[in-house]
Amino acid sequence: MLRYPWTIVPVELRDDYVATLERASTEADIGPFADFLAELVREQLARPLS
């Protein structure tokens, strides 16, 4: 089973998060939301744990 880490949406990206989530919900267009989350996961995986 493939597991993904917890992903945190930074406060400064909250408007983008909500906009892509709204688009997925109202227009059934999940692509931008999935891309947004995938980029956050990539960025957070690249950072070393403190």
Rounded Cα distance between 48 and 38, Å, is: 18
Q: What are phi and psi of 39, to 5 degrees?
A: -65, -40
- pLDDT of 1-50, one tens digit each? 778 778 999 999 999 999 999 999 999 999 999 999 999 999 998 887 76
User: Residue 50: its pLDDT value, please?
Assistant: 65
User: Residue 1: its pLDDT value, please?
Assistant: 79
Q: What is the dihedral of CA 36, 42, 47, 50, to 10 degrees?
A: 80
User: Residue 15: its pLDDT value, please?
Assistant: 98
pTM for this predicted structure: 0.82
CA–CA distance from 9 to each of 1, 22, 50 (Å)?
24, 15, 18
DSSP conformational letter for 13: G
Coil vs helix vs strand at 34: helix
User: Residue 5: its pLDDT value, please?
Assistant: 79
